[in-house]
Amino acid sequence: MAFATPTELSGRLAVAFTPEETARAAVLLDEVSALMLLEMDWAAEPEEVDEPRWPLLRMVALGVAARWWSNPLAIASEVIGDYSYRLDRSQMTGLDFSESERKLLRRISGRGAITSVRVVSGITSDDQAAWSPYSYPGWSDYR
């Protein structure tokens, strides 16, 4: 099950889908949803996701799917005679997430506000003594 439906994608694009396009849209939305679950590092199926998160997940899924639907070959530029067209380098193409979509997916999954800080070596016993609120027998002999 996907985070959005072909009917919602059709509404986002303001285009009426044929039955063949509806089937293509369903496969596309399944693929986008699978990529979203992978990006969020979730093992859950879409139907197992908490209800309050659905509108945001639907928004991301429809944005990525609409971007792909509008440019399925991920063309960044084209030239035909005097006509030329080029997308901005920062504009996303294909089934990749933009940086803002990645940040939103991280926040939805609960990973956005927490980061890991690598602690390097160099901690001395003086540092350990300063951290400890207790005095242990034999601690002074340890240093």
Low-confidence ranges of the chain (pLDDT < 70): 43-47, 87-94, 112-143
Cα(72)–Cα(41) distance, integer angstroms: 26
Give the whole-angstrom CA distance, residue 3 versus residue 59. 9
pLDDT at 96: 82
So what's the pLDDT on residue 22? 97
pLDDT tens digits for 106-124? 888 877 656 666 666 666 6
Is there a domain that residue 108 lies in? yes
pLDDT attached to residue 64 = 93
What's the confidence (pLDDT) of residue 95? Answer: 76
Domain assignment present for residue 124? The answer is no
Strand, coil or helix: 117: coil
- Domain assignment of residue 39, given as a range: 6-116
Please report whether residue 129 resides in a domain.
no
Q: Per the structure, how many domains does the chain have?
A: 1
133 in a domain, yes or no?
no
In a domain, 140, yes or no: no
pTM score of the predicted model: 0.67
Burial (0-12, 13-18, 19+ Cβ within 10 Å), 22: middle
Q: For 85, phi and psi rounded to 5 degrees?
A: -140, 135
**Residue 134: inside a domain:** no
Inter-residue contact 97 to 68 (CB < 8 Å): no
Coil/strand/helix, residue 51: helix
Residue 141 has a pLDDT of 57
CA-to-CA distance for 70 and 85, rounded, in angstroms?
A: 15
